[in-house]
Amino acid sequence: MGVAVDIKIKPAPNTIKLGIVRWADSMDDWTEAWKDVAKLFRRHEARHFKTEGGSTGKEWEDLNPKYAAWKDRRYPGRPKLVLRGTLRHALTKGGPDAVEQITKKSMVVGVREGTDVARYAMAHARGGTLHGGGTLPKRPPVRYDARIQAVKELGKERRTMTFGTAVAQLIQAHVVRHRKRAFKGLPDPFNPGSRGRLRAAGKARRAAVSGRWKTS
């Protein structure tokens, strides 16, 4: 038996579904794990914006020449999807236009629904016809690969991986840390002598939230 975990991200191109092995059933508070997943997401988004989509797939299409000229006059040097920087800030830093709802059992991270920033984000995520004519190409402000590939033993994880795999690796690290706390001072029935794994879990967690893991 396992624990089913869904992580919601807004805008949500994919859903990350995790199956956690049965010895995670004793974790009744996932708050620490969710906070680290939120940090991982914001690092992922920072790279996504810096590369104008290139780190997660196809780079965002060029701006319409007329709009590009206007933007260069009014906001010189600003990259695609960044005019005043409100959307980028919400996805990479948080703030009033962002959402980060964390409970013991669930989390939601991304842009706050009902805001102008959310409507702007969805317009770019969907693309389509503009008022007055013209077409807005799809330039998704949130894009990630939700697939979970092979999750490596802690200490041997990749440094480049899908976002879904990175979440799974991070969750594994938290489960190991929880397991050691649960059996502190007692024999660990799951993996006796796993002190090295605890250290590896700590290193994996730091690597994930510091940006050393590159996610697609």
pLDDT digits (tens, 9 = 90+) for 143-201: 999 988 888 888 888 999 999 999 988 988 888 877 765 445 544 544 555 566 778 88
| Structural domain for 105, as ranges | 2-215
pTM of the predicted model, to two decimals? 0.88
Q: Give the pLDDT confidence score for residue 21 in this predicted structure.
A: 54
Q: Give the pLDDT confidence score for residue 1 in this predicted structure.
A: 34
Number of separate domains in the chain? 1
Of residues 133 and 171, more confidence is placed in 171
Of residues 132 and 136, more confidence is placed in 136
User: Measured between alpha carbons, how far is residue 2 from residues 23, 103, 148 in Å?
Assistant: 8, 20, 16
pLDDT digits (tens, 9 = 90+) for 45-103: 999 999 999 999 999 999 989 989 999 999 999 999 999 999 999 999 999 999 999 98
pLDDT digits (tens, 9 = 90+) for 20-48: 555 466 677 889 999 999 999 999 999 99
- How far apart CA 143 and CA 44 sit, in angstroms, is 9
Q: Give the pLDDT confidence score for residue 201 in this predicted structure.
A: 86
Q: Give the pLDDT confidence score for residue 114 in this predicted structure.
A: 93
Q: What tokens does 205 get? A: 């967690």
Q: Give the pLDDT confidence score for residue 20 in this predicted structure.
A: 58
CB crowding 95-106: b at 16 or more within 10 Å, else e: eebbbbebeeee
Q: Give the pLDDT confidence score for residue 173 in this predicted structure.
A: 87
Which residue spans within 118-207 are E strands per DSSP? 128-129, 135-136, 160-161
pLDDT digits (tens, 9 = 90+) for 179-190: 765 445 544 544
Q: What tokens does 117 get? A: 């920033």
Q: Give the pLDDT confidence score for residue 189 in this predicted structure.
A: 45
- How far apart CA 43 and CA 65 sit, in angstroms, is 31
Q: Give the pLDDT confidence score for residue 32 in this predicted structure.
A: 93
Q: Is the pLDDT of residue 3 over 90?
A: no
The answer to whether the beta carbons of residues 102 and 71 sit under 8 Å apart is: no
